[in-house]
Structure 1
Amino acid sequence: MRAPDPLLLCEDDLGLVTDLYQLTMFAAYRDHRRGVRGCFELWFRDLPQGRDFLLAAGLEPALAYLLALRFPPEQVDAVRRLDAFAGMDEGFFSDLATLRFTGDVWGVREGTPVFAGEPVLRVEAPIEQAQL
């Protein structure tokens, strides 16, 4: 099986393809829920007007992201400089530097009709990983 294609993103940039909220939640879960399994689902509430369903697409880049997710040293340093992480213990930055996705992913096959409220993708992993 070939590796999934991350589209236009360089693998070294994937760590920061998130927002500050996700990183602060990573810190909170690391401190208070480390290792507890979490589950997040991707789904949509409403369909575009005149549509009864959508076709699943884009799952390959999502898998590529999870498989390649890393925080290279320069990204860890960038996070370290954010005010939100001032005073954070060194273990947090070490955890970012060594982060690898170890969870499970379930998704509907590309091209499958998907209806509103129906999960397209489900990620189950240690909650600090699943949050990212």
Structure 2
Amino acid sequence: MPVDIAMPRNLVERRKNAGYAAVCAVGFDADPGVFRLAPAENIEALLPQLQPGRWERLHFANVLWTPGLPVARTLVLAAERFLANVHLGQHWYRANVETLNSVLMGEAATLRSTVWSHVELIARLKGQADREADRFAAGVI
């Protein structure tokens, strides 16, 4: 099932300013078990970069947010090592998303790094924005 990465503009700016980066699994409808792994700070630009190389319409099969690009890159490298036996070439793999998620979560635990799903990150960013608005309304800067 494709992940909808839509996010209000103010939250996109907040996300970029905070330095969050994503581990993205990009797939296509014709073969739901095939995906490409990539770390990205600007996920809105990732699909347009990858799409010209594929005739199938691409979508996000999985998105896991990390505190920064170094963590995202480390998670992608760990997942690629784990999935080496199902490697199809040029960062494409054949596995189910649950297996990928388990590998990424296990490696994040090894790194002692917090990771968030897309929905969790949106809730986190909205919470931060709400707290700042409440402090501003109360006259606390």
TM-score normalised by length of structure 2: 0.22
- RCO (CA 8 Å, sep 6+): is it higher in 1 or 2? 1
Structure that is richer in helix per residue: 2
TM-score normalised to the size of structure 1?
Answer: 0.23
> Hey, which of these two has a bigger chunk of strand by percent?
2
